[in-house]
Amino acid sequence: MAKKNILVIEDNHAILDVITLILESEAFNVAGLNKGADLINHVQEFGPDVIIMDIMLPDIDGRVLLKDLKENPSTSHIPVLMISARYNATNYALDGVSADEFMAKPFNIDELMDKIYLLLKADN
């Protein structure tokens, strides 16, 4: 079975490093970004099976990126797990578009993995 690709967009380098280490230890291919502006190009190049995205990014609101992903026919199928230190799932929808899963920071590693495997299973 081929390794699954997970793209992580997180501006906090320490959190990005932790998520990357966790996912690589679970045998995922991981690509990380610190800014949202590079997302669409990176999605086209990397072909993620799941995207993990912080809502509060330095250059663009994660909800805007989510809306762009979900409204684009070439990326709308990719499950997105939004993470935020200000967790309230009802506040993170934009124009009726919401993520597939939400998670608060700080997060539990087991919960993170459970959500990723749930999204991968739902995508099949």
Domain count along the chain: 1
CATH number of the domain bearing residue 57: 3.40.50.2300
36-37-40 Cα angle (round to 5): 90
User: Residue 111 has what pLDDT?
Assistant: 93
* Cα–Cα distance, 106 to 120 (Å, whole number): 22
- How many percent of the chain have pLDDT more than 70? 89
Provide the residue range defining the domain that includes 102: 5-123
User: For the whole model, what pTM was predicted?
Assistant: 0.90
Q: Give pLDDT tens digits for 23-57.
A: 999 999 999 999 888 788 889 899 999 999 998 88
3-class DSSP assignment, residue 9: strand
Q: Is residue 91 pLDDT above 70, yes or no?
A: no
Helices (H), the chain: 13-25, 39-46, 62-71, 109-123
**Residues 6 or more apart in contact with residue 109 via CB below 8 angstroms:** 22
